[in-house]
Structure 1
Amino acid sequence: MPPEHWQGTLWLAADFAILHGAAGVTATHAHYAHQLMLSTGAPFTAELDGSVHTAQRLLVASLRPHAILTAPAPMLTIYAEPQRLPASALLAALDGMAPPGAHSPVSLDGLASALLAQPRQALPDPRLQRALEQVDALLSGKVSAAAVAEAAHLSLSQLERLFSAKLGLPVRQLVLWRRLRLAIRGILLGNTLTHAAHGAGFADAAHFSRTMRSLFGVRADRSLRQLTVKLID
């Protein structure tokens, strides 16, 4: 079985990431980010919503169950925050890039610039912005739903309805996703798994590892250490 880890370069921006290199197999999982997978070499095989696809390009929208079954060639994978970049923006950013099957190098600089140039979606309600800012301010410790609701000038029930209706996740799951993003960033920047987990508000490294496995289908200790990171302002 191919290894369960990623190898290559990860370009990390505030609301998207580009992974270029070898992709390991994954268990079935579903995460909040939109994901676009592209191979300019041999096709990869992935499962999406229970159906198997052998392709050189596959778009996986937010929260759709999927798994990588085989990935014989290096791949380009884009992840994007759905409240900022719609799935269509990932496809639009590839316009002008080397088409699948051309066997020509993908310009990561060009792709990063194209993604940065895509119009960002505004949050549909200013109360959401206040709520998310409060979530991020509290991530290193306990995130109190009451404190988030107070910052957004909402009741708890209103907060839950707003998150579910506009972001597609209940408050608790959105907090978990943002904790995971923060912990992954910490590890990629050189922190230990334990330090990164605690800094993102996880109870311990095991809790972070379980979350990584659930949302990305891979083990944190095997999947992140082989990556070279470039931060995009």
Structure 2
Amino acid sequence: MLETASYFAPGMALAYGHSVDTDPHQHALWQVCLPSAASVLNGQPLKYGTVIKPDEIHQLCMPSGWVMLAEPESLLGEAISQLPTRLPFAEPDARLNILLEQLGEFPELVHAMQNNPYLCQDDRLARLLARLDQCFGVDCLKPDAWRAKEVAEWLAMSESRFLHLVKAELGIAWRPYLLWRRLICAIQTIRRGKTATEAAYLAGFSDSSHLSRTIKATFGMTGKQLLNSFRDSG
């Protein structure tokens, strides 16, 4: 069953696609690659599934398979960090239930994929994350007031304390974390039938070109390549 599919939830993105061919890039997320055909990672044959650590420069050429991204300080990020270096090949199937069955030997991972709470302990950051999570509903929140100083004031703390707390609790500095969230908002908006220009505006990018450049820097692919590889299956 060769299809494409994508699933987004707070703290994670999961997609099955074809012809994933990225330029060298890096991001602050845990990544799991589960090829369903012989692939190439950093110029070397990839004959098994593998984990890519946050901020690790990588280049992936994968004819078909699953890619999973997880925020570091989430239950899923923690589960991924405990995986072995070699994982099984994925079945050539875009159905999530088939993937979960295949990953049954990693129960902590499967549980986290289905229930991925944040691990941060600070109630103020929990409020912030709940607000950001509204982007996974019907409408995204256009980031008109997401500067660190403004968010810190909303949370009743100093800017320096806020920046320190985000890094300590989420495992990512505020600016790249917010950028990741805005990218997911934009992708979600396009999946709901909006144009790239509309998605860029709603997610706070200056225009569709700015959005495409940011996707390229984060995922190693252009926006068009990303959407073609990981189309909405629904």
Using structure 2 for the length normalisation, give the TM-score.
0.76
Conservation of the 8 A alpha-carbon contact between 1:35 and 1:78: yes
Q: Distance in 2 between matches of 1:8 and 1:171?
A: 32
User: Of 29, 32, 35, which residue of structure 1 is paired with 2:31?
Assistant: 35
Q: CA deviation at 1:110?
A: 4.5
Q: Residue 159 and residue 168 in structure 1: after superposition, are their counterparts in 2 closer, same or farther (change >3 A)?
A: same
1:174 corresponds to which residue? Answer: 177
Q: Residue 83 and residue 230 in structure 1: after superposition, are their counterparts in 2 closer, same or farther (change >3 A)?
A: farther
2:162 corresponds to which residue? Answer: 159
1:67 corresponds to which residue? Answer: 59
Within 5 Å, give how 1:129-168 maps onto structure 2.
129-133=126-130, 139-168=142-171
What's the RMSD between the two structures over aligned residues? Answer: 3.2
Deviation track 1:148-184 (CA, whole Å, cap 9, x = no partner) reads 1022221011111112222233222222111111001
Conservation of the 8 A alpha-carbon contact between 1:40 and 1:102: yes
Q: Distance in 1 between matches of 2:178 and 2:233?
A: 25
Q: Distance in 2 between matches of 1:102 and 1:167?
A: 29
Conservation of the 8 A alpha-carbon contact between 2:205 and 2:211: yes
Q: Residue 119 and residue 130 in structure 1: after superposition, are their counterparts in 2 closer, same or farther (change >3 A)?
A: closer
User: Of 16, 20, 24, which residue of structure 1 is paired with 2:20?
Assistant: 24
Q: What residue ranges of structure 1 are gaps of 5+ in the alignment?
A: 1-6, 94-98
Q: Distance in 1 between matches of 2:93 and 2:214?
A: 34
Considering fraction of residues, name the structure with more helix: 2
Within 5 Å, give how 1:1-233 maps onto structure 2.
8-42=4-38, 44-47=39-42, 52=44, 54-68=46-60, 70-71=61-62, 73-87=63-77, 89-90=79-80, 100=88, 108-111=96-99, 114=110, 115-118=112-115, 120-133=117-130, 139-225=142-228, 227-229=230-232
Deviation track 1:171-223 (CA, whole Å, cap 9, x = no partner) reads 22222111111001111222111000001111111211111111111100232
Would you say how many aligned residue pairs link Structure 1 and Structure 2? 215
Conservation of the 8 A alpha-carbon contact between 1:38 and 1:77: yes
Q: What residue ranges of structure 2 are gaps of 5+ in the alignment?
A: 102-109, 135-140
SS of 1:181's equivalent in the other structure is helix
Q: Residue 59 and residue 181 in structure 1: after superposition, are their counterparts in 2 closer, same or farther (change >3 A)?
A: same
Letter of the aligned partner of 1:176 in structure 2?
A: L
Conservation of the 8 A alpha-carbon contact between 2:215 and 2:221: yes
After superposing on structure 2, the runs of 4+ consecutive aligned residues of structure 1 that deviate more than 6 Å are: none
Percent identity for Structure 1 against Structure 2: 29
Conservation of the 8 A alpha-carbon contact between 2:4 and 2:94: no
